[in-house]
Structure 1
Amino acid sequence: MKLVFILQSIYRIGGTEKATIDQANLISDSTNNEVHIISLYQEVESEHRVNHYISDKIKVHFLHKKIVLLKYSDTIYNLVDLIYKKKTVSLIKSLNPTLCIFTSVKLMTASLPCPAILMAHFRFSHFISGKVTRFYLDKYHKLFERVIFLTEEDMRSYQSHYKSGNGEYIFNYCHVTARMKSDFSNKRIAYIGRIDNSQKQLSHALEIIAGLIRDNVFNGWRFDLYGTGNDVELIKNKIKSLELCDSVNFMGKYNSLDSVLEKTDLLILTSRFEGLPLSLIEGALSGIPLISYNCSPGISDIIENGYNGFIIEQDNKDEFRARVSELILNNEKLKKFGENSFSLAQRKFSKEVILQKWNSVLVSCELISKDKGKHR
């Protein structure tokens, strides 16, 4: 099969981009399929550029070589995507793929030369909350051979809402070395992801750390923030205003995720909403305990409450602080939760498990493609 993934930019910060590229890498490196990626934009402002690993087997095509992402603005670039929709479809047709895999429903059209899949990287309720995405999903959902969600709950919500049978769910595959990494002597808590306070609520995380310091339980511990984004200065100012400069490290971009995880004893997430958080899966595959707000149906797929971490009621900072305190004051429990994280990840998020799900979908779509070819 020849597969084409369509992304806004292979250099863009964000879980959608990273997860999609990781899935493309998995399929390219583990199967005989020919994999292409269409990246709508090539140039990205340097402070917002991330060089995701892409397999040498994958051919990348840039639709707009001279358009620069001046700011991290979904509204502007979603509009540009729609304006150049015909050009995107033209490039797809020139590649003549067996299957197209979209990450945005807005680029779908009835004139595609092959079957198509939509990968929905946010929870279903959030995915249809926007007027534009809701309009296009209403219009095109029947044209997709599969609409793939990140959790079973979201898949069921989609199928119930649209009375449709083309829903599927596949967990994100993470291109990270699966092994126990930390020796739990680092005394480091970490956040890994985009520095976007409106979604990630990093101000909550900082307030939780400030509370632990007031409780006199954070002695010797530090909180590391890894990532970049539009709210870097806002978060740096928040660190100063809470007088956390001696306890919080703003680490920025990182070159090696494995080296970051080796230094981390506990991974936290305080988001307002998520799809299936890659950072938590990466943490689980590295044998790290996890604490997160209940910001997505996918959280319960990654964290078994009281087994490998804690799921916290949304925006309950007091409960969050109490659970962090419980783990950093009990090193044996911290280690046990880490071991449990690794065990859970092997059962749910291993390369073999994710590849089996993708193979099943691809075989089904290939049969559909061949059948349509006979009737053209």
Structure 2
Amino acid sequence: MTKIAFLIGQVNNIGGIPRVVSLISDSLIKTGLFDIQVISYQKGNNQGYGWNDKIKFNYLLDNPMPLKKGIFTATMRLRKILKNEKIDFLITCGSLYGPLGVLSTRFLDTKTIYWDHSNFFENTSHQFKIESKKFTAFFADVVVPLTKHDKINYEKYTKAKLVYQIYNPIDSKLENLKHEYDKSSKRIISVGRLTDQKNFLLLVDVAKIVLNKHPDWKWDIYGSGPLEQKIKDKITDNKLNDSLFLKGQSNHLYSLYKEYSFMVMTSKYEGFPMTLLEGMSNKLPLISFDIETGPNEIIVENKNGFLVPSLSIPEMTIKIIELIENQEKRISFSEHNEKLIDSFNMNGITSRWISLFEQLKQ
């Protein structure tokens, strides 16, 4: 049986990385071909994402510590785990832990897979992240970016030996949903961590224009994070407390999507946004800024949603109002999602991973 370990920062029920790792690992275990464990840099909570009971969990540090201080201890502990457990493949998730992954596998039989969960230029103000990506790509056996666009970036800007693109999957629980699209709903949904990346402070500016023009509509934001109070204050300052709501973190989003009319994403950058896939599988029309990577490989312009020039408040406002005022277009976008969804189903994505493992074994 092939032994695989996923290296992540922390096991929790907040970030996108633990979420997608839980989905992929579960699907791989169900094939009966793989023994899987999840190794986290620091101790976390195994609850929240329905981890498969067969997964073994390990962590490298007992107490939180910046990577630059903890990397030596973490490397020694990770090398010990990889040798003792005879791990065939270490999948390092995210750019921050890329160097830890490649240092820990040097001169071992374990193959290193670097799985980047953001886009290559995710935030150029953090030069360390770009250098980390280049360093990790050079030493890893393969780089797995989330999008076709980033496959080109890795091939162009790094000395990676192999670049093998794999999309994030739709949770199999969301495949083949039977509920009808609610064409009469007057509610908009946005989902994400309340961080600068997700750009919800700008969303408030958009919402002020949209909801003042259509006061019978409501807009809900699901998520938690460090900017929660700032966003709350801005909602209050703009007198939107009765129409724009912070709903907090929810473990029941899958059952809530069907109550909404469409989904809006205002992120400054993404890798491959799971929330858009979830909205898509629930037949929701999608509107997103056309940022570097992600949305433009999920949204087909004017087919299942709108791609808006990045960070343009006027353009975003126009497109949201257009969907609000055009029920037929909402219905058309919803129907078109069903034609696009198969590109991201769990079986197809799992097959891509298995093909990669077979290729690396040769």
Q: Work out whether the TM-score is over 0.5.
A: yes
Q: Give, in whole Å, the separation in 2 of the partners of 1:140 and 1:131.
A: 14
The alpha-carbon deviation at position 188 of structure 1 amounts to 1.2
The alpha-carbon deviation at position 337 of structure 1 amounts to 0.6
Whether contact under 8 Å (2:6, 2:90) holds in the other structure is: yes
Q: Secondary structure at the match of 1:172?
A: coil
Equivalent residue letter for 1:188: R
Q: Which residue of 1 aligns with 2:353?
A: 358
Q: Which residue of 2 aligns with 1:51?
A: 48
| Number of equivalences | 351
Given candidates 279, 286, 290, the residue that maps to 1:290 is: 286
Whether contact under 8 Å (2:82, 2:110) holds in the other structure is: no
Q: Which residue of 2 aligns with 1:225?
A: 221
The alpha-carbon deviation at position 26 of structure 1 amounts to 2.0
Q: Give, in whole Å, the separation in 2 of the partners of 1:222 and 1:50.
A: 32
Deviates more, 1:151-160 or 1:121-130: 121-130
Given candidates 200, 205, 208, the residue that maps to 1:207 is: 205
Q: Which residue of 1 aligns with 2:22?
A: 21
Given candidates 65, 76, 90, the residue that maps to 1:86 is: 76
The alpha-carbon deviation at position 336 of structure 1 amounts to 1.5
Q: Which residue of 1 aligns with 2:91?
A: 101
Q: Give, in whole Å, the separation in 2 of the partners of 1:80 and 1:21.
A: 28
TM value normalised by structure 1: 0.87
Q: Give, in whole Å, the separation in 1 of the partners of 2:353 and 2:265.
A: 28
The alpha-carbon deviation at position 128 of structure 1 amounts to 7.3
Q: Which residue of 2 aligns with 1:276?
A: 272
Cα gap change, 1:297 to 1:140, in 2 (>3 Å): closer
Q: Secondary structure at the match of 2:197?
A: helix
Deviates more, 1:87-96 or 1:2-11: 87-96
Q: Secondary structure at the match of 1:169?
A: coil
Q: Give, in whole Å, the separation in 1 of the partners of 2:247 and 2:47.
A: 15
The alpha-carbon deviation at position 235 of structure 1 amounts to 1.0
| Residues 309-340 of structure 1: per-residue CA shift (max 9 Å, x gap) | 00110111111111111111122211211121
The alpha-carbon deviation at position 31 of structure 1 amounts to 4.4
Q: Which residue of 2 aligns with 1:42?
A: 43
Q: Give, in whole Å, the separation in 2 of the partners of 1:253 and 1:36.
A: 27
| Residues 43-71 of structure 1: per-residue CA shift (max 9 Å, x gap) | 47xxxx9722211222222333x425xxx
Cα gap change, 1:81 to 1:186, in 2 (>3 Å): farther
Q: Give, in whole Å, the separation in 2 of the partners of 1:222 and 1:261.
A: 14
1:302 is the counterpart of 2:298: yes
Q: Give, in whole Å, the separation in 2 of the partners of 1:137 and 1:11.
A: 24
Q: Which residue of 1 aligns with 2:309?
A: 313
Q: Which residue of 1 aligns with 2:256?
A: 260
TM value normalised by structure 2: 0.90
Q: Give, in whole Å, the separation in 1 of the partners of 2:113 and 2:261.
A: 38
Q: Give, in whole Å, the separation in 1 of the partners of 2:133 and 2:322.
A: 44
Q: Give, in whole Å, the separation in 2 of the partners of 1:67 and 1:296.
A: 36
Cα gap change, 1:58 to 1:111, in 2 (>3 Å): same
Deviates more, 1:132-141 or 1:290-299: 132-141
Whether contact under 8 Å (2:121, 2:130) holds in the other structure is: no
Q: Which residue of 2 aligns with 1:30?
A: 31
Q: Give, in whole Å, the separation in 2 of the partners of 1:149 and 1:224.
A: 31
Given candidates 93, 110, 114, the residue that maps to 2:110 is: 114
Whether contact under 8 Å (1:177, 1:258) holds in the other structure is: yes
Q: Which residue of 2 aligns with 1:177?
A: 174
Whether contact under 8 Å (2:204, 2:235) holds in the other structure is: yes
Cα gap change, 1:358 to 1:129, in 2 (>3 Å): farther
Q: Give, in whole Å, the separation in 2 of the partners of 1:312 and 1:81.
A: 42
Q: Give, in whole Å, the separation in 1 of the partners of 2:30 and 2:308.
A: 37
The alpha-carbon deviation at position 275 of structure 1 amounts to 0.7
Equivalent residue letter for 2:49: H
Q: Give, in whole Å, the separation in 1 of the partners of 2:292 and 2:70.
A: 27
Equivalent residue letter for 2:55: I
Q: Secondary structure at the match of 1:171?
A: coil
Q: Is there any run of 5+ residues in structure 2 with no aligned partner, and where?
A: none
Q: Which residue of 2 aligns with 1:238?
A: 234
Q: Secondary structure at the match of 1:168?
A: coil
1:134-145 to 2 correspondence within 5 Å? 134-145=130-141
The alpha-carbon deviation at position 87 of structure 1 amounts to 1.8
Cα gap change, 1:50 to 1:113, in 2 (>3 Å): same
Q: Secondary structure at the match of 1:310?
A: strand
The alpha-carbon deviation at position 25 of structure 1 amounts to 1.8
